[in-house]
């Protein structure tokens, strides 16, 4: 454990480094608010902090930079920060005005978060399979093609185009739809795959196709929304870093499992290698799960450089996650 003085020196270093991106020297720290000792004393303490692995020198006779361990300590020592007035206002305004369609709202939420933090924002939507089916319908689109539409209790609509292989008239489609509705309403969507035949040959032909189509799309990744990559890009000065981060963010499955993994470890913040992804070594991830009716159904997060503004990011993610959960609980 760090003593009080070491802790405040570490804090000063991290805060200045976050602002300037330059190695910070003992002189600057000595002048920082909350530091009452001389630069010489600071030097001694900084040497000790370096010995303990909280700081590093890029080269002898340069200032110091926080290590992952240093950031970790800094973050752990943060008292739960709160948003500044205008940002809180912005969040409030957003969720007051938020309306309409769930996916649109999640996408807009990433915009909000990206705007609040100037980093890349990520929102993982509620898993589709979880919710109970509220309504099922089969709609004819073209001679051999129908669309299976299921409305889930959380407002998500699942759809699959179904190649029927042969003509099916409206009547048969209607019957098949009604049969499916009887089977799966109130059940999770996966129940579609395992239902019984109806007895009517024409209807059963359709049912087989539909069940196959639904099952095929069943390992449907959860939906991920990403935004603010431009802000993320601005935080790095090596284009190669930007490129590798973009590569990660483009792989939805990877993003989902990354966030889930961090949340499962009970973390709010994953710094550098803590993310478990080597291309994110220079990044930090701040996340918060959100709950609907007391159940964790998704995650919001921001991805930025390790030298991100943690207090701001933590506050933004926490507030947005909480508000989003409330909003979704309302329906």
Partner DNA sequence: GGCTGGCACTCGGTAGCATCGAGTGCCAAG
Partner DNA sequence: CTTGGCACTCGATGCTACCGAGTGCCAGCC
Q: How many residues bind DNA (CB under 7 A)?
A: 27
| 25 sits near DNA (criterion: CB under 7 A) | yes
Stretch that binds DNA, among 30-38, 246-254, 298-306, 318-326 (CB under 7 A): 30-38
Q: Which runs of consecutive H residues, i.e. helices, occur in 185-228?
A: 201-216
Q: Does 5 bind DNA (CB under 7 A)?
A: yes
Q: Which stretch binds DNA (CB under 7 A): 50-58, 72-80, 280-288, 323-331?
A: 50-58
**Could you say which of a second copy, DNA, none residue 263 binds, taking C-beta under 5 to 8 angstroms by partner kind?**
none
Please identify, using beta-carbon distances, which residue of 179 and 327 lies nearer to a second copy.
327
Say if CB 29 and CB 36 are below 8 A apart: no
Does 216 bind DNA (CB under 7 A)? Our answer is no
Give SS3 for 199: coil
Per the CB < 8 A criterion, the answer to whether 100 and 119 are in contact is no
- Residue 216's binding partner, choosing from DNA, a second copy, none, with beta-carbon cut-off 5 to 8 A by kind? a second copy
Two structure tokens written together for 279: 């291309």
Q: Work out what residue 228 binds among a second copy, DNA, none; the CB cut-off runs from 5 to 8 Å by kind.
A: a second copy
Q: How far apart are CA 207 and CA 173, in angstroms?
A: 9
Which of residues 33 and 100 has its CB atom nearest to DNA in the complex?
33
Q: Which tokens go with 238?
A: 């090596």
Q: Is there binding between residue 53 and DNA (CB under 7 A)?
A: no
Residue 52 C-beta: closest distance to DNA, Å: 13
- Residue 27 binding partner per list DNA, a second copy, none, with a CB distance cut-off of 5 to 8 Å that depends on partner kind: DNA
Stretch in the footprint of DNA (CB under 7 A) among 32-40, 87-95, 140-148, 253-261:
32-40
5 binds, among DNA, a second copy, none (CB under 5 to 8 A by kind): DNA
Q: Which of 11, 64, 223, 307 binds DNA (CB under 7 A)?
A: 64
Which one of 9, 18, 26, 248 is in contact with DNA (CB under 7 A)? 26
Alpha carbons within 13 A on the beta-carbon side of 100: 10
* Helix residue ranges, H only, the chain: 4-20, 26-31, 39-51, 68-77, 85-97, 102-117, 170-184, 201-216, 229-235, 239-250, 252-264, 310-330
Q: What Å distances lie between residue 246 and 55, 186, 229, CA to CA?
A: 28, 40, 8
DSSP class of residue 112?
Answer: H
Options 11, 14, 15, 28; binder of DNA; rule CB under 7 A:
28
78 vs 178, beta carbon nearer a second copy:
178
Give the binding range for DNA (CB under 7 A) out of 23-31, 149-157, 260-268, 322-330: 23-31
Q: Which of 1, 4, 33, 60 binds DNA (CB under 7 A)?
A: 60
Give, in order, the Cα–Cα distances in Å from 167 to each of 87, 140, 170, 179, 180: 56, 10, 10, 19, 19
- Minimum gap (Å) between residue 74 Cβ and a second copy: 26
Q: Give the C-alpha separation, 73 to 308, whole Å.
A: 14
Closest by Cα among 318, 313, 123 to 235: 313
40 near DNA, judged by CB under 7 A: yes
Helix, strand, or coil (residue 196): coil
Say whether residue 19 binds DNA (CB under 7 A): no
């Amino acid at each position: 454990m760090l003593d009080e003085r070491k802790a405040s020196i570490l804090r000063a270093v991290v805060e200045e480094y976050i602002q300037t991106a330059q190695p910070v020297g003992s002189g600057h720290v000595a002048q920082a608010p909350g530091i009452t000792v001389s630069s010489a004393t600071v030097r001694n303490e900084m040497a000790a902090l370096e010995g303990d692995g909280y700081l590093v020198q890029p080269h002898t006779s340069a200032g110091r930079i926080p290590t992952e361990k240093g950031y970790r300590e800094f973050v752990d020592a943060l008292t739960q920060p709160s948003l500044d007035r205008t940002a809180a206002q912005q969040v409030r305004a957003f969720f007051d005005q938020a309306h309409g369609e769930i996916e649109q709202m999640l996408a807009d939420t990433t915009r909000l978060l990206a705007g609040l933090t100037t980093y890349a924002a990520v929102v993982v939507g509620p898993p589709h399979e979880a919710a109970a089916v509220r309504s099922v319908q089969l709609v004819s689109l073209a001679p051999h093609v129908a669309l299976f539409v299921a409305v889930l209790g959380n407002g998500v609509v699942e759809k699959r185009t179904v190649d029927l292989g042969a003509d099916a008239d409206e009547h048969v489609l209607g019957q098949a739809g009604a049969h499916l509705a009887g089977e799966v309403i109130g059940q999770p969507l996966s129940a579609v795959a395992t239902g019984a035949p109806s007895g009517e040959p024409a209807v059963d032909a359709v049912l087989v196709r539909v069940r196959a189509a639904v099952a095929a799309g069943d390992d449907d990744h959860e939906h991920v929304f990403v935004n603010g990559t431009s802000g993320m890009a601005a935080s790095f000065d090596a284009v190669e870093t930007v490129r590798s981060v973009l590569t990660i963010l483009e792989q939805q499955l990877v993003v989902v499992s990354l966030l889930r993994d961090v949340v499962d470890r009970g973390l709010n913040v994953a710094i550098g290698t803590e993310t478990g992804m080597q291309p994110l070594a220079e990044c930090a991830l701040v996340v918060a799960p959100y709950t609907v009716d007391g159940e964790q159904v998704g995650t919001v997060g921001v991805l930025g450089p390790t030298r991100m503004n943690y207090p701001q990011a933590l506050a933004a993610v926490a507030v947005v996650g909480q508000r989003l959960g409330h909003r979704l609980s309302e329906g």
